[in-house]
Amino acid sequence: MIEGEAAIYARIAQSMCEAIPEEWSSAKIEAIFYSECITYDAEYNRKADGKARSFATTLDGDRAFRELRKLFKSSGVPVWGRACFELQPDGKFVMKWGYDNCDDNGDTLFDAEQELRRHEERRMRLSQP
């Protein structure tokens, strides 16, 4: 583990807990770093019925992902283009790194068709009654 990494994970988790508007059974944020921008997709499963719902990420949570990536770069660790932080209500989490389809800087290469599919899959999942 890189020094300072645990504190950043705690900030991401805290930002999620603050942003989710109701009781939940699991939650995740996926950050995708492109050369020109960063996207954050956040969703949780409601505790009451297990349905997937989206939530808005917080400014501090977004900053934490950017700081984590800078920490990797400054430590000489390979930089990822995607990161997915999955959190449970008891504080347990899993961090998944995505290195596929990245350029030499670690940025995800933009593929319009792939992004449309990803957004449509997410829209369908979140629009379930």
pLDDT (tens, 9 = 90+) of the chain, 129 residues, equals 899 999 999 999 999 999 999 999 999 999 999 999 999 999 999 999 999 999 999 999 999 999 999 999 999 998 999 999 999 999 999 999 999 999 999 999 999 999 999 999 999 999 987
Confidence at residue 95, expressed as pLDDT on a 0 to 100 scale: 97
Parallel, antiparallel or unpaired: strands 24-33 and 38-46: antiparallel
Q: CATH number of the domain that 32 lies in?
A: 3.30.500.20
Confidence at residue 1, expressed as pLDDT on a 0 to 100 scale: 82
Residue 47 has a CB neighbour count (10 Å cut-off) of 12
Q: Cα dihedral sign for 75, 107, 57, 97?
A: negative
Domains contained in the chain, number = 1
- Model pTM above 0.85: yes
Domain range spanning residue 67? Answer: 5-126
Residue 35's region, left for phi above 0, alpha for psi from -120 to 50, else beta, is alpha
Q: Which residues contact 39 (CB under 8 A, 6 or more apart)?
A: 31, 32
Tell me if 82 sits within 8 A of 30, measured CB to CB: yes
